[in-house]
Chains A and B, each alone.
Chain A
């Protein structure tokens, strides 16, 4: 059966309105629920609500549920929950569901690969704690771990050693893990590996088992995780054992977290955290290095980092705090292009209004985040369209700086008219929704545009949400402007989909979601939907 036939069959038997409502609630959760307490709700109450929505959508269709979790922009927690739920419930037949078993396998791999390492291990530990142990699960976990490049595996073995061990024991069983440990021990001591251990390894590593030069390294990784005491050849394992045995200087080859772990156990009285920082500054992760940039700059210390490893919002926050550099600029451009490719719509000539008023500064721990999110979204839209007219709400005379100054009151209406004068096809207002000169002016202008001038250019308000409370963004002109919360540029597609689901014909909305899901997971467009046309 072709994909389109399968999907159409599923659509015919489904209650599109109920699914659209459910999907909309689910997308809210997927983009905002972080598992933490908020100003309004306790952690437990939020968790209960999130669980209920996950379960309800899963019961409706496991394929549709998984596709939504795969969307570009869903939070990692939603992806983790989806993987656990899909693995915990076996598929009994292919009949009637949106995806085949093979497609579901690809989708699960897609979900797991999208997670950063620490979350992936957290997910696998959850799976172990819940005793989800079927062949599908074991294969997924082992493939996700051992298909990584050797450098990553070596790093993970050090940084996530106890979690790695727990996952291995879960996949191999205690006996299997014991046999493997024994085999690795013998192999690394120069003897031949027993057959039982060889057979376990060949099942674990089917793709690399015959790549002889790599096998020793894989066995070292597995042996290190399982606690084999042997003479290792991999640099970081050697350094780890060396530091453990009293040679602190070797610590410079380890990451801060690993060395801090060793310090707190073996050097409690003789070394401090400052010694750890001094020893590991060359091994600092890009995110950590970016976090200390401002302080380092003030102190005249150079801490290098790779801008490519940060997301565009983090890069803009950094540019505001320490200044824009060619590296940051280059990374921002590359990320904008990448995110633009993910947008499933054609944008044509667009107008972009960036609110750079004082309230976009953010506050507390979210300093510079609202403006950073707006600028990152601006970059993505500029890359995704044919032509654009971009204006700031508060311009300053002279050449525009690399990052616009955040200042002044919020007067969006005149900026909106400025872009509309350029015959744009669509307008995007990137704002926090706080208008004050005076409040209500944009609504008044939109009313005149629509009712008096019969100007129907679609206008979208994209408002950054960074906490768990996505609901209730402040709309500039309800009824005239489609307001969409976005957590980051990647979640632009999800915001569009929320708009789709609120449409008159819910079936169209559901079809669009399936289309995006298929494009993301299987590189195939089923219905070739233009989302933006439909939302506006």
Chain B
């Protein structure tokens, strides 16, 4: 079976676009019965070796550790991240041997604890997907150093927590700015009007758990980098003119409604352009009754978990090369 964004997003509809600063989010609202077979990824974490991580699911239902799940512990132990998504059965524990250390000069093993979930920054995600299967605890260090430089961290050592120390307040603001809607199970995330990621969760409670790490660290970090400043990104709102031909409160009300409709149309146009580009399947693993696919096309790379043809989970980010030539693709085709 072939997969496209259209098939990945079956059963959801776009909500009203939320737009603050240089970031926009199109909420994906469930338009079919909810899939409550999966628990939120509230996992217990521990490890016994560098580059290895144990995840324990204490819920009776299975869950999915999201792509790039990252655990920054307060213990004197090395923080770790996983490269792809990970299916975990109910009341069970798995060991992941291809995890990466995200803290180059800290030693120590993590004693089991329920650590707050974070998700790798967007700019590390493409690389980390490519590093699945490679057993090397330091495989992300170089990329983390580069990321810290780009994100304006004064300390450039390969510690992911340096980024959170510098930008914590701003990341919290992202959470307050982009709100979860009723029945929301996913989102398309844009920065400066360009798509950076498509995320889908099995159900609303799963989504509420992953949204915060996604908007804070994963996509929020890219919004900060895109703004090319070391601290606050430009907080200027996007231009959303509601017209000038207004002579009464009633006119203003109608103009506002029109602008809201235009805003919605803008969101649907963005989604429309993504829909039909077919994915190649790089990897196909079975996990219980589900299949775990790694997808790739010229625009996106990421993973989905499917039950037959039903997509339960998806996390797809746009490739860096895609953004490099975005102006070229946006230019009009030659016509006579």
Bound together, the chains give a CA A439 to CA B176 distance in angstroms of 12
Q: For B179, give its contact among A358, A417, A452 (CB under 8 Å).
A: A358
Considering the chains assembled together, what is the distance between the CA atoms of A318 and B34 in angstroms? 30
Looking at chain B, what size class is its interface with the partner chain? Answer: 35 or more
Measured in the bound complex, the distance between the Cα atoms of B244 and A39 in whole Å is 43
Cα of A409 to Cα of B183 in the assembled complex, Å: 12
What is the 8 Å Cβ interface bit string for chain A, positions 425-451, against chain B (1 contact, 0 not)?
000000010111111110111001100
CB distance from A464 to the nearest CB of B (A): 12
Contact A438 B19 (CB under 8 A): yes
A468 to chain B, nearest CB (A): 13
Q: Bound state CA distance, A357 and B180, in angstroms?
A: 9
Contact across chains for A408 and B246 when beta carbons are under 8 A apart: no
Q: Are A434 and B177 in contact (CB under 8 A)?
A: yes
Is A440 within 8 A of B238, CB to CB?
A: yes
Q: Contact at B20–A436, with CB atoms within 8 Å?
A: yes
Give the Cβ gap from A56 to chain B, nearest Cβ, in Å.
29
* Interface pair A436/B178, CB less than 8 Å apart: yes
Q: Is the CB of B178 within 8 A of A448?
A: no
The residue in chain A whose Cβ has the minimal distance to the Cβ of B235 is A439
Contact B21 A448 (CB under 8 A): no
**A32 contacts the other chain (CB 8 A):** no
Are B263 and A437 neighbours in the complex by a CB distance under 8 Å?
yes
B21: chain A residues at CB < 8 Å are 439
Q: Please give, as numbers and ranges, the residues of chain B lying within 8 Å of A40 by CB-CB distance.
A: 169
Q: Is the CB of A417 within 8 A of B246?
A: no
A421, CB-defined interface residue at 8 Å:
yes
CB < 8 Å: which of A357, A410, A453 contacts B248?
A453
Docked Cα-Cα span, A438 to B168, in Å, equals 23
A407-B181 Cα distance, complex, nearest whole Å: 6
A357 adjacent to B252 (CB under 8 Å) = no
Chain A residues with Cβ below 8 Å from B178 are: 436
Contact with B along A346-381 (1 / 0, CB 8 A): 000000000001110001000000000000000000
Residue A162, interface by CB 8 Å? no
**Is B242 a contact of A445 with CB atoms below 8 Å?**
yes
Contact B19 A39 (CB under 8 A): no
Complex Cα gap A40–B168 (Å)? 11
CB-based contact A414/B238 at 8 Å: no
The answer, yes or no, to whether A413 is at the interface (CB within 8 Å) is yes
What residues of A have a CB within 8 angstroms of the CB of B24 in the complex? Answer: 438
Q: Which of chain B's residues have a CB closer than 8 A to the CB of A421? A: 249, 253
Tell me the bound Cα distance from A436 to B240 in angstroms. Answer: 12
Q: Which of B193-249 contact A (CB under 8 A)?
A: 236-238, 240-242, 244, 246-249
CA distance A444 to B243 in the complex (A): 10
Is B182 engaged at the interface, CB distance under 8 Å to the other chain? yes
Nearest CB in chain B: distance from A466 CB, A: 13
Contact of A441 with B240 at beta-carbon distance under 8 Å, contacts A421-B249, A436-B20 already known:
yes
Residues of B within 8 A of A29 (CB): none
Q: Does B18 contact A (CB under 8 A)?
A: yes
Tell me if B177 and A439 are in contact (CB < 8 A). yes
**Which residues in A have their C-beta under 8 angstroms from that of B241?**
444
Q: How far is the CB of B180 from chain A (nearest CB, A)?
A: 5
A interface, CB within 8 angstroms of B: 39-40, 357-359, 363, 407-411, 413-414, 417, 420-421, 432, 434-441, 443-445, 448-449, 452-453, 455
Apart from A411-B260, A448-B252, 11 more pairs, CB < 8 Å: A358-B179, A359-B175, A407-B182, A409-B18, A438-B18, A438-B263, A439-B20, A440-B236, A441-B240, A448-B242, A452-B244
Name B's A-contacting residues (CB within 8 A). Answer: 15-21, 24, 27, 168-169, 175-182, 236-238, 240-242, 244, 246-249, 252-253, 256-257, 259-260, 263
Closest 10 CB pairs of A and B: A440-B237, A438-B19, A358-B179, A436-B18, A439-B237, A439-B20, A359-B176, A434-B176, A407-B182, A438-B240
